[in-house]
A and B are shown apart, each in its own frame.
Chain A
Amino acid sequence: MKYFFIALLCTSIVLLSHIYAAKYKWRVKRLESFRQFLVFAKSEVTYVSTPVLEIVKKYDKLYAGSLPFLNPLKEPVAACVKENLQREEALDTKQKQMICDFFAGFGTQDEEASVRLLEHYRAMADSELQTAAPECREKRKLIHRLSLLGALGVAILLI
Chain B
Amino acid sequence: MKVNEICAGITALFPQKYQAALQKALARHEDIYEIRVRKQQPLVLLSANNTYFISAAGELVFSPMNAAVIAPEEIESIFAKLCRYSVYSFKESLNEGYVTLPGGARVGIAASAVVKNGEISAVKEIAALNFRIVRAVKTAAGEVLEALKNAHFPSAIIIGAPCSGKTTLLREACRLLSSGYSGMYQKCTVVDERGELAAMHGGIAGFELGANTDVLSFFPKPVGILNAVRTLSPDWIIADEIGSLQECRSVLQGLNSGVRFLISMHAGSIAQAKRKAQFRLLCESGDFGAVICLGSGKNLGKVEEIEPI
Interface residues of A (CB under 8 A from B): 45, 49-53, 75-78, 107-111, 113-114
The A-contacting residues of B in range 59-94, CB under 8 angstroms, are 80-81, 83-89, 91
**Min distance, Cβ B91 to any Cβ of chain A, angstroms:** 5
- Contact status of A52 and B86, CB under 8 A, knowing A76-B80, A110-B91: yes
Check B81 against A75 for contact (C-beta < 8 Å): yes
Question: Measured between alpha carbons, how far is A78 from B84 in the docked complex, in Å?
Answer: 12
Question: Measured between alpha carbons, how far is A45 from B80 in the docked complex, in Å?
Answer: 17
7 CB-based A-B contacts, threshold 8 Å? A45-B88, A51-B86, A52-B84, A53-B85, A78-B85, A107-B88, A108-B85
Question: Measured between alpha carbons, how far is A140 from B91 in the docked complex, in Å?
Answer: 47
Question: Measured between alpha carbons, how far is A93 from B89 in the docked complex, in Å?
Answer: 31
Check B85 against A114 for contact (C-beta < 8 Å): no
Residue B122 CB within 8 A of the other chain: yes
Check B84 against A111 for contact (C-beta < 8 Å): no
Check B81 against A114 for contact (C-beta < 8 Å): no
Check B91 against A49 for contact (C-beta < 8 Å): yes
Question: Measured between alpha carbons, how far is A77 from B123 in the docked complex, in Å?
Answer: 23
For B80, the chain A residues whose CB sits under 8 A away are: 76, 108
Check A51 against B89 for contact (C-beta < 8 Å): yes
For A77, the chain B residues whose CB sits under 8 A away are: 85
Specify which of A53, A75, A109 is in contact with B88 (CB 8 Å cutoff).
A109
For A114, the chain B residues whose CB sits under 8 A away are: 88
For B84, the chain A residues whose CB sits under 8 A away are: 51-53, 75, 107
Check B91 against A111 for contact (C-beta < 8 Å): yes
Check A76 against B88 for contact (C-beta < 8 Å): no
Check B87 against A107 for contact (C-beta < 8 Å): yes
Among A45, A110, A113, A114: residue with most chain B CB under 10 A: A110
Question: Measured between alpha carbons, how far is A156 from B50 in the docked complex, in Å?
Answer: 90
Check B85 against A110 for contact (C-beta < 8 Å): no
The binding surface of chain B is classed by DSSP as helix
Produce 1/0 per residue, B120-137, CB < 8 A to A: 001000000000000000
Question: Measured between alpha carbons, how far is A109 from B84 in the docked complex, in Å?
Answer: 12
Check B87 against A109 for contact (C-beta < 8 Å): yes
Check A110 against B122 for contact (C-beta < 8 Å): yes
**Min distance, Cβ B270 to any Cβ of chain A, angstroms:** 40
Question: Measured between alpha carbons, how far is A108 from B76 in the docked complex, in Å?
Answer: 11
Given contacts A110-B88, A110-B91, 17 further A-B contacts (CB under 8 A): A45-B88, A50-B86, A50-B89, A51-B84, A51-B85, A51-B89, A52-B85, A53-B85, A53-B86, A75-B85, A76-B85, A107-B83, A107-B87, A108-B87, A110-B122, A111-B91, A114-B88
Question: Measured between alpha carbons, how far is A2 from B220 in the docked complex, in Å?
Answer: 82
Question: Measured between alpha carbons, how far is A75 from B12 in the docked complex, in Å?
Answer: 12
**Min distance, Cβ A75 to any Cβ of chain B, angstroms:** 6
Specify which of A49, A78, A113 is in contact with B89 (CB 8 Å cutoff).
A49
**Min distance, Cβ B119 to any Cβ of chain A, angstroms:** 14
Q: Which 9 A-B pairs have the closest CB atoms?
A: A51-B86, A107-B86, A111-B88, A51-B84, A107-B85, A52-B86, A49-B89, A51-B89, A114-B88
Check A49 against B85 for contact (C-beta < 8 Å): no
For A109, the chain B residues whose CB sits under 8 A away are: 87-88
For B85, the chain A residues whose CB sits under 8 A away are: 51-53, 75-78, 107-108
**Min distance, Cβ B79 to any Cβ of chain A, angstroms:** 11
Check A110 against B81 for contact (C-beta < 8 Å): no
For A76, the chain B residues whose CB sits under 8 A away are: 80-81, 85
**Min distance, Cβ B296 to any Cβ of chain A, angstroms:** 35
Question: Measured between alpha carbons, how far is A75 from B83 in the docked complex, in Å?
Answer: 11
Question: Measured between alpha carbons, how far is A17 from B239 in the docked complex, in Å?
Answer: 68
Closest to B121 in A: A110
Question: Measured between alpha carbons, how far is A122 from B305 in the docked complex, in Å?
Answer: 62
Question: Measured between alpha carbons, how far is A9 from B257 in the docked complex, in Å?
Answer: 86
Closest to A114 in B: B88
Question: Measured between alpha carbons, how far is A76 from B292 in the docked complex, in Å?
Answer: 45
